[in-house]
Amino acid sequence: MIIYQAGALSIHRLLLNELKTNCYILQQGDQAILVDPTDQPEQILAYLQEHKLKLQFMLSTHAHFDHISAAAGMIDSGLVDTLYLHELDLDEAKRAQSYSLMLLKRKMRPAKAAAFSEVLIALLLDWGLAIQHVGAHTKGSCILHSLSRDFIITGDLALHHKLKITLFDSRENKAEFLHFLQSTIPQFRPDTVILPGHGDRSTVEAELAHNKKWAHILQRQGHGS
């Protein structure tokens, strides 16, 4: 379903796995970019076909298994040949299979992955979009946002505040998360739409007001605790 639209750009959301991880399809005309291929590639392919969309690229905000499990199947389809990630998450992608087996008791096939290419960056720029490396959640976690700063696809740097979330993840970099909240988020307006890794769309204002994890990091890390 379409959950965001501005000018020529539409953003579709699919929920395809047990963890309700958001899979996004960005559309301009009949062209599409797949962001966070979460699971069930056959469902993604059916959706693209139903909406007569031509897939140009596939990328992920970060390489946790629930954000990349459908990548191998999408490559098998022949529509794309690579999953694009930040270079610092290429090793994380290699560990995704183990985490899928451990947490969901389900095997996932690894996919060919590569660092964001100049061709991809140029296409995003042509669409009025940019990728910004943040780190914090994983070493290579990134946000994808419009140059007009009207929306951000955050991956798991933002989960909708109404979800029950764990405040701490031992694998996260708290200093980088604090920098994200103190330096990156202020680059956006209060009404900037957040399209999170899990949960419904939100805004910067709503998450700053109600996101308990964000508040905890700002309060504890901001005071040097």
The band of 224, judged by pLDDT with boundaries at 50, 70 and 90, is low
The predicted structure's pLDDT at residue 103: 73
Query: Given this model, what pLDDT does residue 63 score?
Result: 96
Q: Is residue 39 part of a domain?
A: yes
For residue 165 the two structure tokens come to 């979330």
**Any domain includes 35:** yes
End-to-end Cα, the chain, rounded Å: 42
Provide the pLDDT confidence category of residue 100 given band limits of 50, 70 and 90: confident
Task: Tell if the pTM clears 0.85, that is, is over it.
Answer: yes
**Residue 106 located in a structural domain:** yes
CA dihedral sign, ordered 157, 175, 187, 146: negative
Count: domains in the chain: 1
Assess if residue 17 is contained within a domain.
Answer: yes
**CATH number of the domain that residue 72 is part of:** 3.60.15.10
Buried b (16+ CB within 10 A) or exposed e, 38-68: bbbbebbbebbeeeebebbbbbbbbbbbbbb
Is residue 186 domain-resident?
Answer: yes
Does residue 215 lie within any of the structural domains? yes
Nearest to 146 by CA among 21, 1, 9: 9
User: Where in the sequence is the domain holding 115, given as residue range(s)?
Assistant: 2-220
Count of CB atoms situated within 10 Å of the CB of 118: 7
Q: What pLDDT, on a 0 to 100 scale, did the predictor assign at position 225?
A: 45
Tell me if 225 is assigned to some domain. no
Residue 177 Ramachandran class (φ > 0 left, ψ -120 to 50 alpha, else beta): alpha
In whole angstroms, what is the distance from residue 191 CA to residue 102 CA? Answer: 39
